[in-house]
Structure 1
Amino acid sequence: MKKTLILGSLAAMLLVGCGGSDKETAGDGGQKETTFVMGSANFNGDFYPGWTNSAYDANIRRLVWGGGLLAPTDEGKFVLNSFVESRTLTKSDPSKSVDDIWTFKLKDGMKFSNGDPLTVKDVKFTYDFFLDKDALKATGTTTDLDEYIEKIEVDEANNTISFFLKKIPYTIESSVFTYFIFDSSDIAPKAETAGVTPQQYIKGNMSTPIGYGPYKIDQYVESQYVRLSINDNYQGNFEGKKPSITHLIVQNVPDATQITQLISGEIDGLTGLVSEDDIDAVRNDKNISTNNYYRHGGGQITFHTDFGPAQLPEVRKAFAYEFNRIKFRDLFLGKYGIASNAPYSRNMWMMYDEGEELGTEGKFEKSLISYDILDKDGKWDEAANVAEAKRLLDQAAAKTDGLYAKLTKKGDKYFWDGKELAINLAITSAWTDAINLTLTKEVQDKFGIAVNVDSMDWSIMANNLYGNSPASERKYHAFTGGTSYGLQYDPYGSWSKTQILPFGQGSSSNTARYVGDEELLEKIRWADSTTEEGREQYKNDWRKWIREVNQELPLLPLYSNNYYDAYTDKVVNFKTNALWSWPYAIVEAEYK
């Protein structure tokens, strides 16, 4: 059964997917109303933050909130959000080397989209919400916010809130001060009436968020679309600009038809196009405008490193040699694909030595293990890759301690726990052809690892990836998917062992479920961003961590790429980039 949620009046609702001039109607007093339909992969409907982390749900969140006390700019910096008047940094003790008290003053008269007042009481409520680890754990999530914050003090009369910080992480701005602020006037009484905690109330009402960003949700139809309209209480983005497009429809569109729907005018935009055929189709259409940029992320196969044969690094590496990434990139992306060997982006300054140019393949990147052995002509060398894969499997099969006792070899075949060695791989439909043509039965037989591929909707795969599915139904060892990196990158939140919950008991942001050098993650996390020495330490330790992940392979990077965002040429000033995704850019976009 599909779930439908309707918020507010829908008297002026427009048809989803209508094209051309039908997207312009006359509002009250003759004011022109416009609708932009953005194509998207399916959502989970988790539009409150804190649990799952789907990029498609995150886009809705950005439209509803736009930022926390700090908000991003199109250059990847963080500035005061439009409802914040000032920020003051002081020391709790003059002997301290850094300012450890951050005080924010909110503007008076601010409102949420539903008209409720937005004050420091709501900020305090939000941070208390995420500092209550027991209540969060009971709803299947966790947070590390308590590791940063000692206490919070509120001065309601002056509309100020002060954060007393225990430590200052390298990513202090993004890690602590970009939390979306919740409407306490709405949530608290409803939770009390229902006899539940605020955390339980939010978990049960994930699809009905109330924010203060450029748009508010009018209607959500599960697996179909989210319809939004302008929030009249929005104060503007970091430049004070407000949206002119009055309605947005974020519509779930199939990968197989998305380009046809865009070119025909059924939808108005698509973002993150990666395949050669799709990109060439929109670039060659005179009615389509495009933005392109080097992606701040990439695509990968993520292993569940605590489950089945994927627990052994030798098996993960042997699978990597079995997977011809060069062929896959050609099938999946064509000429727009770029090799990648760890969770990094060429937009990251830490990748480069002095004198190297951002966006190029620098010395550090070239030093990483490739897992694609090439012949003298630069082509994938099947025989050499087979030999290396089997060397790794033989090496593991020769061990008899612990988990290694489960991996055995009889003749030329490998077995895990008495059954044929196999990796169960979960994918979404967009990956099907390229995966199946890369991991053919012939390839599997030659390398010794069978691969059972199941294609499914993203929301179903996400439940398995994040560990929300029942433990009794667990079967997948690996998952395809893409990752986008934050403006400030601290791997702790996605890679620390503290971010792993027991499978079936909630969402784990450490999706690889990998336990590595925790001390190194801590060093990266607490580097001092205010000094040159601290920044150099951060860079060096971050590179050590990249080498660890490259060598232990909790995930197999498949590609990075040039992203193309495509949209109707009836819209101008829609300026997306690697650090400025479409929910932010749509605020300045307008119909001609």
Structure 2
Amino acid sequence: MRKFAQKFVLLSLVIGISAGTMVGCGSQTTGEVSSSETTGYGTSVIAIGKLNGVFNPFFYTTAYDDIINDAVNAALIGLDREGNYVPGIADFTIEEVANDAGEVQSIYTFTLKDGIKFSDGEPLTAEDVMFTFLIQLDPTYDGIATMNTLDIVGIEQYTKGDATEIEGLKQIDDKTVQVTINGVDPAATQKFGVAILPKHYYDAEFVKGDLSKIKEKNGTPMGAGAFVFENFENNVVSLKANPYYYEGAPKLEKLKFQVTDQANLFEAVRTELVDISDPSASPEMVANAEEAGLDYELIDNLGYGYIGINAERVPDINIRKGLMHLMNRKPAIESYYGDIATVIERPMSKVSWAYPDDVEEYYGYDVAKAKEYFEAAGYKDEDGKLMKDGEQLRIEVGISAGGIMDHPSAPILTQMKSDMEAMGAVLEIADTDGAVFFDILEQKGWDMWVAAWNSTVDPDMYQVYHSTGPSNHYCIYDDELDKLIVDARLTNDVEIRTELYQEALDIIMEEAVEMPVYQRKNMYLINPNMVNIDSLPENMSPFYNFYSELYNLEMAQ
């Protein structure tokens, strides 16, 4: 069996998926696809989580819906296995120039490849690219895409004024579109790498300020992707091959996505209800797969687990450092994941090109050192309790672990609780459901919490660590850190950005607001009796998996 557990350190992209859009799997398994449809007729069935049925790359609300979007649509820009940006349906160039005022601007030029067609046979042209861009730049746009955050020349006059065109957005000819932005934005390539929609299908008479006709087709998508949407009925999405697909017609006649409960993902593949699923990776799941004779892939997850501390609720850095020294990570991760996860030492996915090589541990597990920091914060032993100004040292930590502490970081907290009790302090562990947990987190209501970040294409740290970042749950406000983060946004030079980000990571560790815990893996489970294993991509990575080559997927003979 093939097992891939590689480390990739180049640019990453999760097209259309941002941190926070992934939700839990559904609990419905009705409307199952009959086994007769999965054999002999060129039809493959893939398990998928609960679908909301919003199959539009700019308005979807769950990452599962976006899997369907990716199958139906084709994007301007894609990724190779190492996470480098590569042409999708268009070649592209980036040129830095000076405007009349001597200010730097970046010009992005997209040139469509020859012969690109939508699934109805109509040509895909620059007019469709313009239409797609204008959807996201519309003053009324309320979807998940972030192209409207780019400083495109003339964008403010368009979104806030009476302008009917955007100065920096131009159609050069039938195959070419050019976008000019002010300054340099390393994340712009990701934001331009979107699926292109057919104007003639969604809204041939599109005008600024009215996205209603586009949204009307959220449940009946059409694009230039490998497959054509047929229907979504009884928890099954049915697709058929697109004969006009630019990479070549798919080898499958049909492809179905079956909504499947997380708890049933292994059995669904073993019993041939579905051909491929993605259960949570664990030593037990690996053992089950091998015993059942199933093929599987283990791939580093583009994200990481961590324990955070709110610097406003725990303002004394000595207390925060003391807490860090009580986090015994390695035994916890080994007991939960075995050898399919690793402890990390900086708050960033090891998949990212900005994660430092050969980095050393910043805070080792050391109970005596922790007590020294608590004492440095002014706490003294009074009748077996660590007290300061009449108050016992007390920390509340939130974790969403199903009410039974089923979480890789749970053993860390239970040992912290025991260690703190032994020295006369209190750790209150609140194991809540996900909705309550994240509601309190958004309100900055936890002293300390356990969670995980999903990473995106670019390791831009602004959202999470900048003083004005919308997801700065740590309440860290550091001028030097802010400057490093902003400076890293002003250049496309990866070496310079890497150096800046690594300095920023050290500041975050010194501030003791986030303990990086683990880098886990994702798992794909495949039934070799149903799927031709040789039709799966070689050397899958966090950026390039079997979804990247659905058009090559074949049934077993």
TM-score of the superposition, structure 2-length normalised? 0.72
Secondary structure of 2:292's aligned partner: coil
Distance 1:435 1:528, change over 3 A: closer
> Given the alignment of the two structures, is residue 343 of structure 1 paired with residue 352 of structure 2, yes or no?
no
Q: Tell me if 1:574 matches 2:536.
A: yes
2:428 to 439, 450, 475: 450
Q: Partners in 2 of 1:336 and 1:212 — Cα distance?
A: 37
Alpha-carbon distance change, 327 to 568 in structure 1, aligned in 2, over 3 angstroms:
same
Residue 538 of structure 1 and its aligned partner are, at CA, apart by 1.8
Residues 201-216 of structure 1 mapped to structure 2, 5 A cutoff: 210-216=222-228
Deviations 1:367-396 (A, max 9, x none): x41x441xxxxxxxxxx33x4445555656
Taking only the aligned residue pairs, the percentage that are identical comes to 17
In structure 2, the residue corresponding to 1:235 is in which secondary structure?
coil
**2:183 is matched with which residue?**
167
In the TM superposition, residue 591 of structure 1 has moved relative to its aligned partner by 1.1
Aligned-partner Cα distance in 2 for 1:135–1:493: 23
Question: Is residue 397–residue 430 contact of structure 2 (8 Å, CA) maintained in 1?
Answer: yes
Query: For residues 315 and 219 of structure 1, what CA distance do their matches in structure 2 show?
Result: 56
Aligned pairs for 1:107-506 within 5 A: 110-113=116-119, 118-131=124-137, 135-136=140-141, 145-147=149-151, 151-155=167-171, 158-174=174-190, 176-185=191-200, 197-198=210-211, 210-219=222-231, 225=235, 227-230=237-240, 232=242, 235-237=245-247, 242=250, 244=252, 246-255=254-263, 257-271=264-278, 273-286=280-293, 288-301=294-307, 305=310, 309=313, 317=321, 319-351=323-355, 362-363=357-358, 365-366=359-360, 368-369=361-362, 371-373=363-365, 384-385=366-367, 387-392=368-373, 409=388, 413-414=392-393, 421-427=395-401, 432=406, 434=408, 436-440=410-414, 442=418, 445-446=421-422, 448-456=426-434, 460=435, 464=439, 480-492=450-462, 495-496=465-466, 499-500=469-470
Q: What's the offset of the Cα at 1:225? A: 4.7
TM score, norm. by length of structure 1: 0.68
Instruction: Judge conservation of contact 1:91–1:99 (CA < 8 Å) in 2.
Output: yes
Q: Which runs of 5+ in 1 are unaligned?
A: 1-13, 26-31, 353-361, 374-383, 399-406, 416-420, 501-507, 530-534
Displacement of 1:452 after TM fit?
0.5
**Partners in 1 of 2:508 and 2:291 — Cα distance?**
40
Distance 2:545 2:282 in 1: 19
Structure with more helix by fraction: 1
* Paired position in structure 2 for 1:6: none
Contact 2:111 2:175 in 1 (8 A): yes
2:510 is aligned to 551
Amino acid at match of 1:263: R
The aligned amino acid for 1:161 is: V
- The size of the alignment, in residue pairs, is 498
The residue matched to 1:309 in structure 2 has which SS? coil
Cα deviation for residue 487 of structure 1 reads 4.8
**2:287 & 2:427 partners in 1: Cα distance?**
36
Measure, in 2, the Cα distance between the counterparts of 1:590 and 1:462. 42
8 A Cα contact 1:427 1:480, kept in partner: no
Q: How far did 1:297 drift?
A: 3.1
1:104: which partner in 2? 110
Q: Which amino acid aligns with 1:124?
A: M
CA deviation profile, 1:289-336 (whole Å, cap 9, x unmatched): 122344443223456x48x73677666555544443223212321222
User: How far did 1:197 drift?
Assistant: 4.6
Q: What amino acid is the match of 1:282?
A: A
Deviation track 1:18-55 (CA, whole Å, cap 9, x = no partner) reads: 57554136xxxxxx231222254x56666555689865
* Runs of 5+ consecutive residues of structure 2 not aligned to the other structure: 1-28, 155-166, 380-385
Match of 1:28 in 2: none
Q: Tell me which residue corresponds to 1:3.
A: none
State the partner residue of 1:62: 70
The one-letter amino acid paired with 2:483 is E
State the 1:16 CA deviation.
5.1
Q: What is the CA RMSD across the aligned residues, in angstroms?
A: 4.6
Does the Cα contact within 8 Å between 2:172 and 2:178 map onto a contact in 1? no
Q: 1:520 corresponds to which residue?
A: 484
Q: Give the Cα–Cα distance (whole angstroms) in 1 for the partners of residues 555 and 52 of structure 2.
A: 30
Output one character per residue of 1:88-111: Cα deviation in whole Å (capped at 9) or x when no partner.
556656999999333223357755
Q: Is contact 1:444–1:451 with CA below 8 Å preserved after alignment?
A: no
Change (3 A) 1:422 1:81: same
Q: 1:523 to 1:88 in 2, by over 3 A?
A: closer
2:496 to 537, 543, 551: 537
CA distance in 2, matches of 1:55, 1:72: 18
The amino acid across from 1:519 in the alignment is: K
Within 1, Cα distance between the matches of 2:57 and 2:436?
19
The amino acid across from 2:406 in the alignment is: T
Q: 1:411 Cα deviation (Å)?
A: 5.9
Paired residues for 1:46-85 under 5 Å? 48=56, 55-67=63-75, 69-82=76-89, 84=90
Q: Residue 24 of structure 1 aligns to which amino acid in structure 2?
A: T
Q: Assess if the C-alpha contact under 8 Å between 2:301 and 2:520 holds in 1.
A: yes
Q: Is it true that 1:37 corresponds to 2:50 in the alignment? A: no
